[in-house]
Structure 1
């Protein structure tokens, strides 16, 4: 173990100040490098040694993230990689079940942080029958040790313990392949679309595909909110994998419910050669979502002319989308895009922002390249001169213009 530990643990541990975002990101990358090294040695390392290093790395990682600005999630992802490895290596190393149960409860109830879960389904092979029995008994001890929740007191001092119990109830229902328990623990009072989707996911996990599809459809139909949109993606995914003959109808249903570029693209992919027969109706409905219609024409149909026409016809407001349309339409008629480019550049420079300055400068350099040697070259240079004059009190903008050698 010394060689593996020496290669891995120094990259995980640090005494540095990680409250700075950049420092946290840099250390997070070191942590991923450490886990890469660990994973590369799993095939040849002694199982007990690999588990010991992983266990120590996980403990150190939690101490690191507890004092880090992990806004980017890099350190958190490293912690999750170790959490994925831990149960597999615990089983391979034959860690005593009693010791593992004790650690699992310490992690969940008394850990350095409380935003990671342990999955008893993943740990089941390591725990074995006796370990799972002890684990369930310990859960019941926790359950009976806390008072019933008062509906009048929102400051519940036992909220974390209740959350741990609910999480374990859901995962143990999956482990037991108990359909009724899965529905009871996941769907709860059925007042949230995401809970219905979680029910579908748990049912799919145990192979109850028909039930999973039904619950995913219930989540899709719950309302028109983002959780139902997400559920619709999962519903169609299940159908594509298990009932492909029903996928086109489902994609059409989802499009009619949420007519936008994404749902139109999914429908287009599903119908294949039959697309021309439904295209007029789909494009008509997409007109109610201008950005979706233009994005669909540009990115799915790969038709810059149609995207250009729709962008003008439907009066698209998104500058980002206009940039994409103008860039694509240049190959058809670059002169026609000049007014669009000018408007977008002027919009970029409305606010003092170094990133916008850089973007505007690059776009202007691109315009000069397009216009070079044509009758429009002088007009582009005059536009640049006007911008320099209007924004003469912005030295950073001048610097960006000079960097790309604008006149």
Structure 2
């Protein structure tokens, strides 16, 4: 028994990752079974290391992979592949786990029996062969003897990108190797904190974050692996601060300075994560510094975002509204954001008032954030103000002249039981556009799209002559084929003529569909022989297009 099944893997990974994992079964190698876990490598875009925990009595399982998706704490396709491989070998897993336990017990007993001299000899042997282990132990030793100069030099060396920058730039292929060194630096910082050097680790982490920020612009971190390792350095800084309790105001100044520095985008520091260390005085100092930054540069994105975070944490809705009101987007998106903040605070009347203000402020704009218009109309409908909702939709149609705006007006007017009146006025507006030859999105007038959307086929026929584009003609013919086959046939024949020139599978499929409709019209008219003559001539004309002939055959033509 391995304690899990395929359904567990599918639930953890999701359907997409599970299906993709099926394709990696042959890419799993080096499977090693431990007491409670399995490790393996999976060959994909790169070679990825996977560790998969075996289900216990409760069936709980998990997986870790060093691919970019896995490092975001996702159960990826590589984990799925390893899990499925374990299930394939389910019969042998219990014996392998028992063997792993025996090996572990044997190793523990053997180590316990070694003398001090023998243990030292063993460690020296390992560090001579394993450079990474040697570096880690050197750092631990330096931290233990408070040799912070050595610790600092080693950490800075680990995050120095120059050994990886063959052309003055860390290329994509080298980013993973560099990220491993940055992660090692983070581990060294955590070790320094654990060894009683938390105060020193704070300063070292801050220097490391500064160096990383300066170097990040010269690194191709397309997969985000360096950013993830840098985040580990930032977490090590937070851990050290929680142990060392540095001066709150000094920490506030460093955090604000780092967050507000536009050139440092390698780590996403959030001062609120440090709230327990900063205390009230430190948070107040952060807010003061951010306020000063906004005064100097009101449009600064980082300062605005940080101030928004601080105000939300404090629950100061009025200050938050004032912050957003300083820079109102002409689309109304900011008005909507303010309305949503007020709504969340239980201030619905003020929220709707801000949304209404957004419509007034943006009334001359062709583009208004559709979510703002929806917000206002939903608010009106909820309050029983249906006439006002209809008026908003009517105004938007006058400005946008789009099928979407027409549909929204129709929906609101039907709710208010006044669509008949509104429809006449709306069509008059669109008809005036059609007279001025202001085409719709696809070339033909929106008026024709609106009539077709209403199902008013007769009116659409009247308006289409000399105005409709091919898309609209085809739609009109499709809706009329059964009732007016003769008129539909004329449309389809014109479209066939225009469709003979383009080549390629998509063009040929469209031509075949049009010809099927031509045949349907002839059948409805009882002129199938006429279609046979027409189609034979068309095949003769286009016979050199072998792919077209094949597609026509497949469609039964």
Q: Which residue of the other structure, out of 382, 385, 404, is the alignment partner of 1:262?
A: 404
- Tell me if the contact between 1:201 and 1:212 (Cα under 8 Å) persists in the aligned partners: yes
The residue aligned with 2:365 is 224
Q: In the aligned structure 1, how far is the partner of 2:355 from the partner of 2:366?
A: 14
TM-score (norm: length of structure 1): 0.60
Matches within 5 A, 1:211-360: 211-220=350-359, 221-222=361-362, 223-245=364-386, 246-272=388-414, 273-287=417-431, 288=433, 291-299=445-453, 301-312=454-465, 315-317=467-469, 319-360=470-511
Q: Which residue of the other structure, out of 258, 271, 285, is the alignment partner of 1:145?
A: 258
Q: In the aligned structure 1, how far is the partner of 2:539 from the partner of 2:71?
A: 51
Q: In the aligned structure 2, how far is the partner of 1:310 from the partner of 1:371?
A: 25
Q: In the aligned structure 1, how far is the partner of 2:502 from the partner of 2:493?
A: 16
Count of residue pairs brought into register by the alignment: 308
The residue aligned with 1:196 is 335
- Tell me if the contact between 1:247 and 1:270 (Cα under 8 Å) persists in the aligned partners: yes
- Tell me if the contact between 2:69 and 2:76 (Cα under 8 Å) persists in the aligned partners: no
TM-score (norm: length of structure 2): 0.46
Is 1:366 the equivalent of 2:517? yes
- Tell me if the contact between 1:66 and 1:113 (Cα under 8 Å) persists in the aligned partners: no
Query: Per the alignment, in what secondary structure is the counterpart of residue 226 of structure 1?
Result: coil
Aligned CA distance change for structure 1 residues 364 and 205 (closer, same or farther; 3 Å): farther
Once the two structures are TM-superposed, the CA of residue 353 in structure 1 deviates from its matched residue by: 2.5
Aligned CA distance change for structure 1 residues 378 and 258 (closer, same or farther; 3 Å): same
Matches within 5 A, 1:5-16: 6-9=9-12, 12=17
Q: In the aligned structure 1, how far is the partner of 2:335 from the partner of 2:64?
A: 35
- Tell me if the contact between 1:216 and 1:234 (Cα under 8 Å) persists in the aligned partners: yes
Q: In the aligned structure 2, how far is the partner of 1:322 from the partner of 1:7?
A: 48
Once the two structures are TM-superposed, the CA of residue 285 in structure 1 deviates from its matched residue by: 0.3
Matches within 5 A, 1:19-168: 60=70, 62=72, 113=224, 142-146=255-259, 156-158=263-265, 161=268, 167=305
Aligned CA distance change for structure 1 residues 405 and 244 (closer, same or farther; 3 Å): same
Aligned CA distance change for structure 1 residues 236 and 187 (closer, same or farther; 3 Å): same
Once the two structures are TM-superposed, the CA of residue 228 in structure 1 deviates from its matched residue by: 3.6
Q: In the aligned structure 2, how far is the partner of 1:204 from the partner of 1:160?
A: 32
Greater fraction strand:
2
Moved more, 7-16 or 238-247: 7-16
Greater fraction helix:
1
Structure 2: stretches of 5+ with no match in the other structure: 25-57, 78-208, 228-241, 243-248, 269-299, 435-443
Q: In the aligned structure 2, how far is the partner of 1:253 from the partner of 1:294?
A: 20
1:381-406: per-residue Cα shift (whole Å, max 9, x none)?
34433432343332211111111121
1:111-136: per-residue Cα shift (whole Å, max 9, x none)?
96599xxxxxxxxxxxxxx9xxxxxx
Q: In the aligned structure 2, how far is the partner of 1:386 from the partner of 1:169?
A: 74
Query: Per the alignment, in what secondary structure is the counterpart of residue 364 of structure 1?
Result: helix
